[in-house]
Amino acid sequence: MTRGTVSYIGQRLVLIAVTTVLVSSIVFLLLHQIPGNAFLNETRSTPQSLAANLHHYGLDLPLPQQYFNWFTNVLFHGDLGESLKNRGVYITPLLIREASVSATVGFYALLITIGLGLLLGVIAALRQNTWVDYIASSASVAGYSIPSFVLAIFGLLIFGHYLYIWTQGTFYYVPGWGKLEQIPVPALALGLPYASYVARLTRASMLETIRTDYVRTAWAKGLKARVVVLRHALRNALIPVVTILGPLITGIITGSVVIENIFGIPGLGKEFITSILARDYNIVIGVFTFYAALVGLANLAVDVIYPVLDPRIRY
Partner 1 sequence: MVTAALPQPDLVTIYEMPEQVSLLQDAWRRIRRNRLALFGAAIILLLLVVALVATFWTPYPVWLQAVGPTYQPPTLKHPLGLDQAGRDILSRIMGGASITVQVGVGSAIIVSLIGIPLGLVAGFYRGTVDTVISFFINIWYGIPDLLVALILVFVLSDALHLIPRGVFVIILAFSLTRWMDVARLVRGQALALREREFVEAARMSGARDFRILFSHIFPNALGPIIVQATFAIPAAVLFEAFLSFLGLGLPSPMPSWGAMANDGYHGLDFAPHIALAPTIALSITLMAFNWLGDGLRDAFDPRMRR
Q: What is the dihedral of CA 123, 206, 5, 11, to 10 degrees?
A: -90
Comparing CB distances to partner 1, the nearer of 223 and 273 is 273
Distance CA 187, CA 195 (A): 11
Helix, strand, or coil (residue 105): helix
Subset of residues 281 to 300 that bind partner 1, contact rule: CB under 8 A? 284, 288, 291-292, 295-296, 299
Q: How far is the CB of 126 from partner 1 (least distance, A)?
A: 16
Nearest-CA neighbor of 266 among 94, 108, 123? Answer: 94
Among 63, 142, 163, 313, binds partner 1 (CB under 8 A): 142
Q: How far is the CB of 299 from partner 1 (least distance, A)?
A: 6
DSSP annotation of 127 reads T
User: What Å distances lie between residue 208 and 130, 138, 240, CA to CA?
Assistant: 17, 19, 11
Distance CA 201, CA 112 (A): 15
Distance CA 127, CA 111 (A): 24
Task: Decide: is 272 part of the binding site for partner 1 (CB under 8 A).
Answer: yes
Task: Decide: is 233 part of the binding site for partner 1 (CB under 8 A).
Answer: no
Rounded to 5 degrees, φ, ψ at 107 are -65, -45
Q: How far is the CB of 226 from partner 1 (least distance, A)?
A: 26
Q: Give the torsion sign (CA, 101, 104, 110, 112).
A: negative
Among 90, 149, 306, 315, binds partner 1 (CB under 8 A): 149
Task: Decide: is 165 part of the binding site for partner 1 (CB under 8 A).
Answer: no
Q: How far is the CB of 189 from partner 1 (least distance, A)?
A: 12
Among 141, 225, 230, 313, binds partner 1 (CB under 8 A): 141
Number of residues that bind partner 1 (CB under 8 A): 47
Distance CA 130, CA 125 (A): 10
User: What Å distances lie between residue 127 and 114, 197, 279, CA to CA?
Assistant: 20, 18, 53
Among 66, 73, 243, 261, binds partner 1 (CB under 8 A): 261
Binding mask 12-51 for partner 1 (x = CB under 8 A): ----x--x--xx--xx--xx-xx-----------------
Task: Decide: is 211 part of the binding site for partner 1 (CB under 8 A).
Answer: no
In degrees, to the nearest 5, what angle opens at C-alpha 95 toward C-alphas 16 and 75? Answer: 40
Task: Decide: is 190 part of the binding site for partner 1 (CB under 8 A).
Answer: no
Residues that bind partner 1 (CB under 8 A): 16, 19, 22-23, 26-27, 30-31, 33-34, 141-142, 144-147, 149-150, 153-154, 156-157, 160-161, 204, 207, 246-247, 250, 253-254, 257-258, 261-262, 272-273, 276-277, 279, 284, 288, 291-292, 295-296, 299
